[in-house]
Amino acid sequence: MPIQLRRLLLAFAIFIALFLVVRYFLVPDSYGELGAYRSLSLKENEEPIAKFVGVETCEMCHDTIVKAKASDVHQKLQCEVCHGPGYLHMENPETVKMIIPTEREHCGKCHELNAAKKSKIAQVNLAEHNVENKCIDCHNPHMPWELKE
Ligand code: HEC
Ligand code: HEC
Ligand code: HEC
Ligand code: HEC
């Protein structure tokens, strides 16, 4: 066998050995058990729970607020847009508290005037619109047009 060929074969052998070592460490354990994918990923994908449970769930215990909200301009907003995900609260309402967003900035996320952005949502200039108070001192968040005194 010519010497060049022997060197070449040696280089191949080293390359293949390296490949097998690297492959051994990189391929996840459950790969190939059921096909060309990680079979454990099936189990992982079964596990995530829905964190946003939807207004129908809130209605079981807060039907008065659900009805009030449905009668006014915030009817299309999901409760959890403002109060955060309800999946833990619905099981333990006494111990797991929902977020109560009382700051002006919270309403501003949707209502702050932005000259560069056309919006179908009514916009107010937060720096001018009744700056002394929180929005919810005047607007009921569930029925914004029910103004408090
Ligand atoms: C636009 C944001 C927003 C949306 C949407 C919203 N809330 Fe609220 N919610 C608030 C704010 C702000 C307060 C605090 C009001 C206050 O202290 O005057 C509050 C207070 C509450 C409270 C506690 C005080 C009370 O009035 O009993 C409950 C319960 C509640 N919301 C449930 C809901 C439910 C159920 C929905 C969906 C039907 C909902 N909220 C949708 C902002 C919102
Ligand atoms: C199984 C009944 C139940 C369900 C379902 C439920 N809540 Fe409540 N929620 C309660 C009770 C009871 C309280 C009062 C807890 C307290 O005062 O200790 C409460 C209180 C609240 C409060 C006031 C802050 C707090 O956590 O005490 C908000 C806001 C709220 N709920 C929003 C929601 C939203 C939004 C949903 C739907 C994603 C929801 N709740 C689903 C029973 C429920
Ligand atoms: C997630 C987005 C969102 C948040 C947060 C939000 N709103 Fe709204 N709001 C809307 C939408 C959508 C409408 C319906 C479209 C409209 O009338 O501009 C609306 C309508 C209104 C209106 C009636 C406007 C009109 O011209 O009829 C008022 C007032 C209002 N919201 C006040 C508030 C206050 C106060 C807060 C904070 C407690 C708040 N909103 C938080 C989305 C939001
Ligand atoms: C002192 C009471 C008061 C406070 C605080 C207040 N508002 Fe108002 N808001 C009003 C009144 C009254 C109107 C109707 C007359 C007007 O447009 O000024 C109104 C109108 C609105 C409108 C409708 C504007 C339109 O063009 O249709 C929106 C949206 C609104 N407010 C959002 C907010 C937000 C967001 C906050 C907090 C950053 C807030 N308001 C704080 C009293 C208040």
Judged against a pLDDT cut of 90, whether residue 107 lies above it is answered with yes
CA distances from 108 to 36, 40, 67, 111 (A): 49, 44, 24, 5
Q: If pLDDT is split at 50, 70 and 90, which confidence band does 44 have? A: confident
Q: How high is the pLDDT of residue 43?
A: 86
- Max mean pLDDT range (21-30, 49-58, 135-144): 135-144
Task: For ligand 1, say whether the CB of 62 is within 6 Å of any of its atoms.
Answer: yes
Q: If pLDDT is split at 50, 70 and 90, which confidence band does 89 have? A: very high
User: pLDDT for 48-65, tens place per residue?
Assistant: 788 999 999 999 999 999
Q: Enumerate residues lining ligand 3, CB below 6 A.
A: 73-74, 76-77, 81-82, 106-107, 109-111, 121-122, 135-136, 139, 141, 144
Q: How high is the pLDDT of residue 145?
A: 93
Nearest CA to ligand 2 atom 33: 58
Tokens of 78: 């999901």
